[in-house]
Amino acid sequence: MKVIRYILIALALGLSSTAWAQKIELRGIICVQRSLPKEATVEYVSDVLIEHPNAKPTVSDTQGTFTLSIIGLARGSQIGISIKPQGKYRDYVVVNEHEISNITLGRTTPVQVYICKRKELEERKAELIGINIDRYQRARQTKLAQLKNHVAELESDHQHQSLLYRHVLDSMQRLSREQEAMLRHIREYADTFVRINLEGADSTYREAYSLFERGELDSVSNYLDQSFDYKSEYEYLQKLEQESKVYQEAKQAFEEATQKRNEYTRSVKDLLLRKCLLMAQTHGLRSERDQAILRYRQALELDPKNHKVLFDYASYLQSIGRFSEAQHLYSTLLTELREHQGSHPETYILRSQASLLYNLGLNAKSQGQFASAEQYDAEALALWEQLAKQDLEHLPGLVLALNGLGADHYMQQRLGEAEALYLRSLEILEQGKLGNNRTQQSYLVQTLNNLGTCAYTAGRGEAAETYYLKALSLQEALAELHPQLYKRDLYSTLHNLGTCAQSRQQDEDAERYYRRGIEIARLLLSENPEAYESSFAISLHHLALTISKQGRHSEAEAYHREALSIRQRLYAREPRRHWGALSTTMAFLSENLYRQGRWSEATQQQRELIKFMEQAQAPEENKFTAIGNLVYFLVGSGEYTEAEQKARTALALQPKAHWIKPHLAVALLLEGRYEEARAAFDELTNLKHNGRRLDTLIAKGLEHLLRLGAIPQEHRGEVLQTIQRIKEQAPSPNTSRS
């Protein structure tokens, strides 16, 4: 039978030589968490095993009470205990783990421990997440619509260059960028609320919970702002601390009073600390960065070495892209843990270090520092492996670490090492030892997708498809239960399957996957255009190529144009980021038009592409490629003189651009200047571009023009002779191999 185990912080300070002989009793009470104010009945929990390295294990009685006799530690030390629910409560977890992580040894008031069914906790959390995500998305759409209307008004007034216009566009981009962080913060916020025991909470927490479970995030923030006065409460805390010092000076006479005052002061401090963290999370949810950072800093002012504060603040900074500051806090906390390693339970130290190292790896990956990320992830993996050998509850951490390190290897093109780690993760997950079914499935989907991507990059399309299909099956089941949470991942997997099928020449399958993905993407686009426009354009582009490959060029054109429209908008907002994608779409639209025999339109589209590249200051090689294609389209349009001029202009600027020369030779041929054309063809003999003979490419190009009917009748004879001459000059297969 699997035992649910929680190891809490144990930090022992100020040990004296006589402390080891002391015996100090720690009393506590264990009951089931009540998450709703109306639940007035207290359910005490018996037969819970309580342990500490310096005490004989004990169990709670029928009233939920226990007494643990600690020896070898001084009064006033900060310790942690191990809680193991058993019997009918074996599936329960400790809810207020953080609050009881620093227990003052010698306290007179019992330690309160609250437990709850893991499934119930997760269901409440999922419900809160669902309600608030739905409210957030609706509010966000309203705000987005207002901003779009504002943009339209400014554009109608021709205020494209105004600061206000840029400010409104920046606001729209910020809404897009911050969505993922907002969804993550909502989940963290929900986790905070479901762990509050409302039966013992004050009115502030009760009202905040009531507002949050209705999805009224703004109301939560406003209520907390109105009821929270940091200055007065901090002054009150300082007053209590001063009084505690006075009591301490009279310790011998008033020891019990001093102890109670210290405990009360600590409880006030802890409450103020929790309020600061709650306010920080609230402002973070509303993208009020300055206010969130202020509350985190106030929390650090209260307790500069508090592990949770340091970790939460670092995570928030990481989520808003302030990676250097996040790394500093993570490193500070890691150093703190290592320096006090002997004062904490081993499991807590190992688990905390592993989590920190994993986050440091994510932080490094976010900055493209994959070698540094690999070092962090390798250390994290070693710790999670050690923990998993002790208790299977640490397997989720091990799975994440394997995927994290695998991603580092993948990004450094070490595909074999990456795949080996992903396969280890898959083996663990297929054994079904993670317990929670939803967690198990989410991690399995992640691992299967990683394996699919790894296999695809290695050129093993069939294996990649197998992994992607398994991931798709799981994601479809998850998306059916929780569409808001999983349809984005479902879209990503469908796109991967489409790309995989496309690379294996399975065009009908590729088209089917792309169409399904695009159907989901249109829903995502309606909810959050800025977040999904770029990936949606990629899907449209791939679908257009797949359809065009099947000869349905007219149908493909519609998707090319839709992708073009999106990428033009993206380029207007972020030119440096999107110029490459826009130029690619313009180039493929030109090709699509020429494949339909619409030479004039293809030529005009290519002219627009070259003009755009000049404005965007594209690399010279990109511009020359576009000019070369323009020459080809001009030939197809019968504009031979201009084709010759464009080719000669390009060669004058870049004489070594051999791939332009075939177009010049063809233009001369179709102008009827046969002698010059033959000389140009002879010059190309044995020249290569990207490993292919240029004269052979010319022959294929001329044959293609003949099939399209783009060669005038008076030149067909010379063209056929040219093709024959090139083929006769081409080396035989045996000669090529020699």
Give the integer Cα–Cα distance in Å for 394 and 439: 13
pLDDT at 707 over 70: yes
* Alpha-carbon span 36 to 469, nearest angstrom: 42
pLDDT at 543 over 90: yes
Higher pLDDT, 354 or 680: 354
Mean per-residue pLDDT, 88-114: 86
Kindly state whether residues 609 and 677 are assigned to the same domain: yes
Res. 196: pLDDT tops 80? no
- Domain's final residue, options 88, 118, 148: 118
How do 111-117 and 23-32 pair as beta strands? parallel
Whole-angstrom Cα distance, residue 573 to residue 577? 9
Number of domains in the chain: 3
CATH of the domain at 645: 1.25.40.10
Contacts of 537 (CB under 8 A, 6+ apart): 563, 566, 567, 570, 581, 585
pLDDT of residue 341: 65
308: which 2 tokens? 């949770």
45: CATH: 2.60.40
Q: What is the mean pLDDT of residues 717-738?
A: 63
Same domain, 470 and 587: no
**Looking at the domain assignment, is residue 149 inside a domain?**
no
Split at pLDDT 50, 70, 90, the class of 200 is: low
Residue 275 falls inside a structural domain: no
Domain that holds residue 500: 437-527
Say what the pLDDT of residue 738 is. 25
The one-letter amino acid at 546: T
Considering 402-411, 620-629, 632-641, the range whose residues carry the highest mean pLDDT is 402-411
Burial of residue 561, with CB atoms counted within 10 A of its CB: 0-12 exposed, 13-18 middle, 19 or more buried: middle
What is the pLDDT at residue 640? 84
Give the least confident one: 13-22, 261-270, 590-599.
13-22
- What is the C-alpha separation between 333 and 321, in angstroms, rounded? 19
Q: Which two tokens stand for residue 196?
A: 């509050």
Adjacent-strand bridge partners of 30? 113
C-alpha–C-alpha distance, residues 526 and 238, integer Å: 52
If asked whether residues 591 and 509 sit together in one domain, one would say no
Q: Residue 14 pLDDT more than 70?
A: no
> Is the whole-model pTM more than 0.95?
no
Residues 519 and 630 in one domain: no
Q: Name the band, by pLDDT with cuts 50, 70 and 90, for residue 509.
A: very high
Residue 92's DSSP bridge partners are 117
From 447, 381, 370, select the one nearest 413 (Cα to Cα).
370
Cβ(554)–Cβ(587) under 8 Å? Answer: no
Same structural domain for residues 599 and 732? Answer: yes
Q: What local confidence, expressed as pLDDT, does residue 539 receive?
A: 94
Record the tokens describing residue 354, joined without a space. 């592993």
Q: Report how far residue 588's alpha carbon sits from residue 542's, in angstroms, rounded to the nearest whole number.
A: 11
Give the whole-angstrom CA distance, residue 260 versus residue 109: 8
Backbone angles phi, psi at 114, to 5 degrees: -115, 135
Cα dihedral sign, 245-249-253-255: positive
- Identify whether 506 is part of a domain: yes
| pLDDT tens-digit map of 320-330 | 878 889 989 98
57: CB partners within 8 A, 6+ apart: 49, 50, 51
Q: Does the structure show a pLDDT above 70 at 656? A: yes
Which is more confidently placed, 663 or 383?
A: 383
Give the strand pairing for 82-84 and 6-7.
Answer: antiparallel
Instruction: Render the burial of 413-445: b for 16+ CB within 10 Å, e for the rest.
Output: eebebbbebbebbbebbeeeebeeeeebbbbbb
Q: At what angle do helices 289-302 and 307-319 cross, to 10 degrees?
A: 160
Report if residue 547 sits inside a domain.
no
Sequence-distant (≥ 6) Cβ neighbours of residue 597 within 8 angstroms:
708, 709
Across 234-248, 535-549, 683-697, the highest mean pLDDT is recorded for 535-549
Separation of alpha carbons 663 and 624, rounded Å: 12
Check pLDDT > 50 for residue 16. no
One domain, residues 623 and 491: no
Dump pLDDT digits (tens) for 568-580. Answer: 998 998 888 888 9
151 in any annotated domain: no
- Rounded mean pLDDT of 673-702? 73
Residue 508 amino acid letter = E
- Say whether both 466 and 582 belong to one domain: no
Three-class SS of residue 78? strand
Question: How would residue 452 be classed by pLDDT, with cut points 50, 70 and 90?
Answer: very high
Q: Looking at the predicted structure, is the pLDDT value of residue 345 above 70?
A: no
Is 608 domain-assigned?
A: yes
Q: Are strands 688-689 and 692-693 parallel, antiparallel or unpaired?
A: antiparallel
CA nearest neighbour of 606 among 648, 665, 646: 646
535 strand-pairing partners: none
pLDDT of residue 8: 25
Q: For residues 715 and 592, state if they share a domain.
A: yes
Average pLDDT value over all residues in the chain: 83
In a domain, 513, yes or no: yes
- Mean per-residue pLDDT, 383-398: 89
| 383 and 338 Cβ atoms separated by less than 8 Å | no
Are residues 619 and 678 located together in one domain of the fold? yes
| Rounded percentage of the chain residues whose pLDDT exceeds 70 | 91
Helices (H), 157-229: 163-194, 203-213, 217-227
Amino acid at 472: L
Q: Which residues contact 577 (CB under 8 A, 6 or more apart)?
A: 570
Give percent above pLDDT 90 in the chain.
Answer: 31
> Shortest CA distance to 489 belongs to which of 512, 520, 513?
520
Q: How confident is the model at residue 272 (pLDDT cuts 50, 70, 90)?
A: very high
Rounded to an integer, the average pLDDT of 220-226 is 79
List Cα–Cα distances, 67 to 25, 57, 78, 488, in angstroms.
6, 10, 17, 50
> ∠667-670-675 over CA atoms, to 5°?
85
Last residue of a domain, one of 118, 140, 168: 118
576-604 burial, b at 16+ Cβ within 10 Å, e below that, comes to eebbebbbebbbbbbbbbbbeebbebbbe
250 against 491, higher pLDDT: 491
Residues 6+ apart with CB under 8 A from 339: none
Contact 294, 331 (CB under 8 A): no
Instruction: Return d(Cα 493, Cα 491) in angstroms, integer.
Output: 6
Q: Which of 329, 204, 175 is nearest to 279 (CA)?
A: 204
Which has the higher per-residue pLDDT, 551 or 732?
551
Whether residues 475 and 592 fall in one domain: no
- Of 103, 118, 133, the position where a domain reaches its end is 118
Q: Is residue 499 domain-shared with residue 601, that is, in the same domain? A: no
**What does the DSSP assignment read for 543-594?**
HHHHHHHTT-HHHHHHHHHHHHHHHHHHHHH-HHHHHHHHHHHHHHHHHHHH
Same domain, 589 and 701: yes
Instruction: Specify if 288 maps to a domain.
Output: no
The confidence score (pLDDT) of residue 44 equals 92
- Provide the pLDDT confidence category of residue 179 given band limits of 50, 70 and 90: confident
Q: What is the mean pLDDT of residues 26-48?
A: 80
The yes-or-no verdict on residue 26 having pLDDT over 60 is yes
